[in-house]
Structure 1
Amino acid sequence: MIDERMVARLTLVEPALGRQEIKKSRFIAVAGPVADEAVAKVFIAARSDPSANHNCWAWRVGQSYRFNDDGEPSGTAGKPILAAIDGQGLDRVAVVVTRWFGGILLGSGGLIRAYGGTAALCLREAAKATLIEAVSGTVACEFGDLALVQARLGVLPGVQVEVQTFTDSGAILSVSAPESEAVAVDRLLTDLTSGRSAIQWTA
């Protein structure tokens, strides 16, 4: 059995476009990276063309997903678009496939192939990047440890000190890190400060 946590997930680097003409109907797919449902809704609204016959869409963000057939027969548009996203192992991605009807009916099977195929074509050509899950937390650090902690955290891959707030005895650092580096951050802080500082992960 494959551990899903070990499977690298991908997202898109930037918006991508794909187009097909099928029996005189024009299909244009636009895909893009989205951070959450709210961003996905904005993306879909911005990329839908009110002059078209149908603007069908799907998005996935982690375990959350939605799809919409926008007037096409149920199951023939949104679901195949979602299947194209999932079929390429993508996450945090939204796709809108817009159709201008050409006068020839495609039937249910033809619509599924047209919408799913146009979405897949668009996604195949898109620039992708590995999706890195990040965690964030805070750590209270004494003045005597502060410079060394900042320097050493800065060399860990993907770890960033985003905000520091000074206190009477030192500083509180807000830190973000790839999930894979969280244990290394814990160990580093404990070792450097002889246990005086520990990070509290919040998300």
Structure 2
Amino acid sequence: MKTVKVLYKGGQGEIEEKKSRFIATLMPVSTEEEAQDFINGMKKKFWDARHNCSAFVIGDNAELTRCSDDGEPSGTAGRPMLEILKGSGVRNAAVVVTRYFGGVLLGTGGLVRAYGDAVKAGLENCVVIERTNGVLCYLKTDYALLAKLLHILETPPFVIKEAIYEERVEFMVLVPEDELKEAEKRITEASGAKAELVPKALCTYARAGEELIVAGERPYRSTEAPAG
């Protein structure tokens, strides 16, 4: 099961280095336009700061990255910020580090450490989730099979999204996309072929504490050729 760490809720952290304040603000983003809007907004908010340096990482495999030193010596701010962001494994995140100059020059090494440490401080106050590419499936069963199927559905990789108890029991269940065939097989075998896991939609899902987050639903289409 492949998961991707993504920023779910942004946050802010601050460090002080030789009287200079470094304020890191992070925000979830999914496009370059969203990232630039966030960066521009932070520059307006902290208009009186000496620098508002930025970096962002977008895409499951960090396909899109950008960074800016915003007037700091080249390579001392945006690049170390980006490296911390990428190194954390967090995707779909933008960060702006605002510097209020304290009157003491930090030197190249000092700037690199300060901007990197500020991003780390900001990340500590964010909510990061592990997102899975999955399939939303439908399952209907008689009460006679309920206990046996629940034993399976309440263990990984299954995640129960919804359960409706009426004349029969209906479930909406999430499974990782790359484990769908094995999940279907387990349900078929456990029920003696009396219950079937029916794929309905592709989606992404994750947990943030007790909250189950399901997004990007789109119709499921089997890649297998029809029989006959």
Query: Does TM, scored on the shorter chain, surpass 0.5?
Result: yes
- CA deviation string 1:47-104 (max 9, x = no partner): 3322222111111123322111112111111111112112322222221101122222
Distance 1:113 1:42, change over 3 A: same
Report the Cα offset of residue 13 of structure 1.
Answer: 3.9
Counterparts of 1:89-104 in structure 2, within 5 Å, are 89-104=89-104
Residues of 2 paired with 1:147 and 1:69: CA distance? Answer: 56
Percent of aligned pairs with the same amino acid: 35
Whether 2:155 is the aligned partner of 1:179: answer no
Q: 1:12 to 1:199 in 2, by over 3 A?
A: closer
Q: Identify the residue that residue 30 of structure 2 maps to in structure 1.
A: 36
Equivalent position amino acid for 1:104 in 2:
V
For structure 2, the residue ranges without an aligned partner over 5 or more in a row are 142-148, 163-172, 204-228
Change (3 A) 1:14 1:200: closer
User: 1:60 and 2:57 equivalent?
Assistant: yes
What displacement does 1:182 show? 3.4
If the length of structure 2 is used for normalisation, what is the TM-score? 0.58
Q: Paired residue for 1:25?
A: 20
Q: 2:42 aligns with which of 40, 43, 47?
A: 47
Shift of 1:31: 1.7
Aligned residues between the structures? 178
SS in 1 for 2:9: coil
Q: CA deviation at 1:27?
A: 0.9
- Structure 1: gaps spanning 5 or more residues: 140-145, 162-174
Shift of the alpha carbon at 1:105?
2.0
Which amino acid in the other structure matches residue 38 of structure 2? F
| Superposition pairs of residues 22-171 of structure 1, within 5 angstroms | 22-32=17-27, 34-37=28-31, 38-48=33-43, 49-61=46-58, 62-63=60-61, 64=63, 65-123=65-123, 125-135=124-134, 157-158=158-159
What's the C-alpha RMSD, in Å, of the aligned pairs? Answer: 3.9
Q: TM-score, normalised by structure 1?
A: 0.64
Amino acid at match of 1:36: S
